[in-house]
Structure 1
């Protein structure tokens, strides 16, 4: 019968009527290494490439693992092909993959006595696991003077599975067809930006794109025209906000225009709501509401809500008025 000897420290004891004697013996069994410890994990998956990672074998065969052999196969085929036989670390980036094909990888450890059994991976497709982000919210003006306009916007509701890295802002003079990219020294990483070097008393429109590792997403809606002029004042709050009608999932709001518009045209209104005892307000309408009524839908049946409304002119948002 074949007995497998495991490396370790063994004790031998001899006993006779006069006493006993114990000695320890260190036994090392030289062999090929055990298979690498899995699972094989994948990261940085993109078009045509993927990074594999694994753990070294628990049993190195009493000889240092010198390198790893990596093989691959398309799951529709039986044969394996060599990726590399010179991998010195427990991670490797495989390239030149066909992005629509599904692959399986296997990794073997090597020491001076030979090659281990391979560790097989789960199937993987070498293509980006995310898409471009949704469009950002419509830009609004928060500050205006004679040579600049500061705008802000809501981040995309869905980033495509990959964080937004920065934003691209474009501007044009009102009703002209040519959009110009706003040039910046550093990427725009916040959902706000001060656009400078504008012409006084000219009205501008803006739109914003979100960018992640998948590329540039769709543009936001175009902002209301914003006049580049020294500020006067923001408008007052609407005088009265009433709830005219309700259903299980909607509320119909109506309000009166502000008594004072800040000395310039009111572009529209922003409706915000707050649920129950919460303290955070959320914007309801992405685009400015151009009339003095609005139907809020998609509400939770039986829940209590608070609403507030503010007017917006070229200077910015005015004070809010809550529903009575």
Structure 2
């Protein structure tokens, strides 16, 4: 028995539509009695419903029905004694007849794309070069290109006074510059450029004025001096005489602007020559400050240079000043910045004080940058007032602002107590700082013994020989000067040898130092005696 085909799943909406379109189902044929012979008629009966299926049914769905119809015909001899197989075959054919058929939906038409939009106009069309037969222009790309992109540019030109525009490039160019060739010397041309994309041409960008077709020998160039490339600062009342050289041939046309406006001929004079331009102001004031722009132009070529002129003067005084506090020997002062800075920045302040007794002013601080200060080292019992000057690169303000309050340094509670110092005891017992050294001398040759001693009060010095005080013996000379003690022995003999002692004593104690002196005898040889 062939397998039963699987039913096709459909959405509820499709099922409802198919049921409305299908005809009423015919009742299934009754099964023959068991003793009746089985013929091929059941196969035809089964095939008929399959043929009556809707035309939309797929061929794959009809194939199982034909297979079911053929199967009972082949099994007819076996089913003569038993009608169950025939009934089963008839029961299997019924679902094939009632199987729903899928209806294909027609494809939807694609959504058309939005129409292309032209680009915005190109920007900044300028002349790059010109000579007697060609003209080169350049420009910048449009700000808004659009979704369709940019195909290229078209450059057109026309003679001055004519409305006929000639296309310079036969094909679109993607570059941002174009050289227009084969022009006539002496013509004046108007030029414009148009951007093109799938949406069509954009609005045109044209030159501000027509361009003469002629050779420019020397393009204009301003040579601004180095000293004028930065801010040029002058004081009020100074004479301004600025010389700006330039190049250009034929003679360029020179124009000046101040802050974007034409110069006031009453304030500034311009003197132009073939090589330079002079800006002259006889007496400058602060209104002359600003940005001066010089332009030199030869046909469609030009060059610009700017210089900043700043006219400054001394600042005004601080807006206000007040005494904030007073304590001990100090006073705190605070002030505000001046309303008039002199057209330049404030570089500092100068603070002065004056004693009310004398009224003389003394500078306390110079080039001070803060807006508050503490003045110290004020004298006890005096009263002070303070004043402040503003300062900029020109100088100190001519006027000042003075405190309304007076700072009084009180005496109450201040008692001077000198420090007590313990008196130092400078008394010291004698002490030898340089001892006596043993000496040896020859009979008849004077010698000297030396030592050094210190002590406070000044010690008394004595010399002893073999523990005996020498005293005032004329053979010896005793000297004591600035602590240096010396004993001179004049022409000693052999009996002058021995131990010499120097003794120093004062109220604090006694100190001694000793040395040994050896006096040698000269020995004369016998041969020398015979000669004598």
- TM-score with structure 1 setting the length: 0.41
Q: Which has the higher contact order (CA 8 A, sep 6+)?
A: 1
Kindly indicate which of the two structures has a greater share of residues assigned to strand: 1
Pick the structure with more helix per residue: 2
Higher Cα radius of gyration: 2
TM-score (norm 2): 0.26
